[in-house]
Structure 1
Amino acid sequence: MKAFQYRSIGRAPEVVDVPVPVPGPGEVLLRVSAAGVCHSDEFIMSLPEEQYVYGLPLTLGHECAGIVESLGEGVKGISVGESVLVYGPWGCGRCYACSRGEENYCESAAVQGIRPPGLGAPGAMAEYLLVDDARHLVSLGGLDPVTCVSLTDAGLTPYHAIKKSLPILVPGSVAIVIGAGGLGHVAVQILRAITPSLVIALDTAGDKIDLARAVGAHFGFVTGGAAETMLMLEEEIRALSGGRGAAAVFDFVGIQSTTELAARLVGVGGEIVVVGVGPGTVQVGFFSTPWESSARAPYWGSRSELIEVLELARTGRIKVEIERFSLDEAPRAYESLHAGTLRGRAVVIPSQAQDPELDHDPEARP
């Protein structure tokens, strides 16, 4: 089968031929319908050799939708031919966090060497994917796998981050989304769907702000100008909250300039939520942040939350903006990700699951 693999530190990933995996006891083999492209992939491929811990070669892709192809011995509760999404943050299944469906916070995964697909285990940028346990599969129930595959991360991650802040996202509150790209534009929709907050989107790119406004942001501002311009912009944003500042600032970039911006925009009793995989940090202290404000860095989400995200999609309240690529075009999808030219999320579709909407003409692609 074809697979898109990161094979050497510092070199671009490539499409190669590898054997089709065979499911062992308790495992499930999927015929991949779609795989999502994520900034996390770019992050791990940017790591120097002394920091890289994900194994080589690594088949990329931690967002996966597929059709159940075959079952290993002892697998029950799922049928061949069923269309499913893969819950990505695999855990041990036995610790307290896992018993709550929060395998994203598994207490034993690191010790036992359990890693998510595409982030240590072979991922979904291939024609087939081996899933370690049927509990990591969630039925699509008729939803389109191509348009919904990114919900496993680009939907689940912001939903988990926002859900924790619901007690302070009350009527009259302001929620700010920094970074209106792949995750941020979904965060805007989730905020509009499950909170009464005024939603403000910030990004350095005007087209990302246009997307945020199109999917529901009440206000959108382009950031990154001169210091005086930024000061005026921050004053304008604070005025929209009646001078109180934001109840919650969700940073989907996570570099130092954005975390510092978040700290300047949050209000008394507010939350700074750093979701983006970047090196930025937040200084929390008596003289550095408003009283009673806090900062947290959530990771991915729980299995039950993924089901809730799918219900939002099923009722039409959230939708991921996507661009389609074939598996052979995967290198170009990652080039577009690196260049920042994607509108929303890139989805890679293996040839055996060919999407009729897939455009093979590079000149015709927006």
Structure 2
Amino acid sequence: MKAWQLTAVGEPLRLIERDDPRPGPGQVVIDVRAAGICHSDVGFADGTLTPMLPGLPMILGHEVAGVVADIGPDVTTVHPGDRVVIAGPEDFAPGWAVDGGFADKCLARADGLLTVPDNVGFAQAATATDAGQTAYGAVMGAGELRKGQRVGIVGLGGLGMTGARIAVIEGAEVYAADPKPGTWAPAKDRGVLEVVDDVQKLGAYNLDLIVDFAGFGTTTAGAINAVRPGGLVVQVGLGVLEATISTAALVVKPATLRGSRGGRPGDTDAVLRHMATGALEIQTNTIGFDDIPHAIERLATGDVIGRFVAVPD
């Protein structure tokens, strides 16, 4: 099989060829039909998030959808030909804990697979596993969103745009902050009521919950300043690894600051169900397998709207 492998920090991905993976007990091999590209992949390549990987070299790609090609001993829950996404478990997560989906084939654990509804395409299904699951987990899990709440979304990239739409679907009044005007119309098309260019301006809307999908330090501090007294700020984005916040604002309001890394497999199921009904479509830009390194470079510049998804040429 062919695969794009990260060999060293600061180096471009290297195209390699190796033998196809063979499934062991409880494992399956997936023919990759779509692999989403995440800003985390930028962090793995530039050194920001590389310490989170078990080591290098490694095949990245943690948003994976495809077809079961082969099954290992004792696997009875899936069969060759099944349409699936990889949703876990954490200790065998592709592109994080083990080699991932920037490849023709990918090894997975059978107990970490979810069936893709027939009317959901592979590109959408792949994004459900991270952009969808992480956004759902932040808004509905860590954010504990309730119908009728007023919610702010900071950053309208692949995660933030998805989180905004999920909040709308779940009955919230949604406002957003993003400095890129190109994101404003797509956000409003997805039900966001107003978009501002600075998180501080969200303070005008008396928000119960603000979810920061950007994480550039100033956004975290701004969200704490902008949320209503007694409100909740959920931190998801890792644009920088440290932030300076006003402890006075946190205490005097008081406000709650909570981190959210990702969701649970049940969250991915919820996202797939929303996709199957047509209520949720994650904004994607499909590319070819050979374009994966260039897409990571594009993501690093910050000028991408939506989610890059690589599909077989």
> Is the TM value for this pair above 0.5?
yes
TM-score (norm: length of structure 1): 0.80
1:140 aligns with 2:105: no
Report if the CA contact (8 A) 1:157-1:301 is conserved: yes
Residue matched to 1:37: 37
Residue matched to 2:164: 188
**What amino acid does structure 2 have at the position aligned with 1:201?**
A
CA offsets 1:9-43 (integer angstroms, 9 cap, x no match): 22111222122111111110010010000011111
Residue matched to 2:212: 251
Residue matched to 2:279: 317
What secondary structure does 1:153 align onto?
Answer: helix
Counterpart CA distance in 2 for 1:51 and 1:147 is: 29
Residue matched to 1:87: 87
Q: Which segments of 5 or more consecutive residues in structure 1 lack a partner in the other structure?
A: 92-113, 224-229, 352-366
Task: Summarize the Cα distance change of 1:31–1:335 in structure 2 as closer, same or farther, 3 Å threshold.
Answer: same
Counterpart CA distance in 1 for 2:308 and 2:66 is: 17
1:216 aligns with 2:191: yes
Deviation at 1:116, TM superposition (A): 2.0
**What amino acid does structure 2 have at the position aligned with 1:329?**
D
CA offsets 1:210-235 (integer angstroms, 9 cap, x no match): 22122221101123xxxxxx8xx62x
What secondary structure does 1:125 align onto?
Answer: coil
Deviation at 1:166, TM superposition (A): 6.2
**What amino acid does structure 2 have at the position aligned with 1:327?**
F
Counterpart CA distance in 2 for 1:50 and 1:125 is: 17
What secondary structure does 2:158 align onto?
Answer: coil
What secondary structure does 2:117 align onto?
Answer: coil
Residue matched to 1:338: 300
What secondary structure does 2:75 align onto?
Answer: coil
**What amino acid does structure 2 have at the position aligned with 1:218?**
L
Residue matched to 1:76: 76
Counterpart CA distance in 2 for 1:295 and 1:152 is: 25
Task: Summarize the Cα distance change of 1:119–1:73 in structure 2 as closer, same or farther, 3 Å threshold.
Answer: same
Counterpart CA distance in 2 for 1:154 and 1:50 is: 20
Counterpart CA distance in 2 for 1:287 and 1:56 is: 42
Counterpart CA distance in 1 for 2:248 and 2:302 is: 37
Q: Which segments of 5 or more consecutive residues in structure 2 lack a partner in the other structure?
A: none
1:347 to 290, 309, 312: 309
Counterpart CA distance in 1 for 2:16 and 2:311 is: 15
Larger mean CA deviation between 335-344 and 67-76 belongs to 335-344
Task: Summarize the Cα distance change of 1:167–1:120 in structure 2 as closer, same or farther, 3 Å threshold.
Answer: closer
Deviation at 1:281, TM superposition (A): 3.7
Report if the CA contact (8 A) 2:34-2:311 is conserved: yes
Residue matched to 2:230: 269
Report if the CA contact (8 A) 2:212-2:234 is conserved: yes
Task: Summarize the Cα distance change of 1:129–1:347 in structure 2 as closer, same or farther, 3 Å threshold.
Answer: same
Counterpart CA distance in 1 for 2:261 and 2:49 is: 24
**What amino acid does structure 1 have at the position aligned with 2:33?**
S
Task: Summarize the Cα distance change of 1:282–1:87 in structure 2 as closer, same or farther, 3 Å threshold.
Answer: farther
Residue matched to 2:136: 159
Deviation at 1:192, TM superposition (A): 0.5
Residue matched to 1:303: 265
What secondary structure does 1:25 align onto?
Answer: coil
**What amino acid does structure 2 have at the position aligned with 1:316?**
G
Larger mean CA deviation between 202-211 and 182-191 belongs to 202-211
Task: Summarize the Cα distance change of 1:25–1:9 in structure 2 as closer, same or farther, 3 Å threshold.
Answer: same
Deviation at 1:134, TM superposition (A): 1.0
Report if the CA contact (8 A) 1:148-1:320 is conserved: no
Counterpart CA distance in 1 for 2:21 and 2:145 is: 47
Counterpart CA distance in 2 for 1:48 and 1:261 is: 23
1:116 to 93, 96, 103: 93
Counterpart CA distance in 1 for 2:50 and 2:245 is: 28
Give the share of equivalent positions with the same residue, in percent.
28
Report if the CA contact (8 A) 1:247-1:271 is conserved: yes
Report if the CA contact (8 A) 2:221-2:246 is conserved: no
Report if the CA contact (8 A) 2:35-2:65 is conserved: yes
**What amino acid does structure 1 have at the position aligned with 2:114?**
V
1:125 aligns with 2:102: yes
CA RMSD of aligned residues (A): 2.1
Counterpart CA distance in 1 for 2:223 and 2:143 is: 18
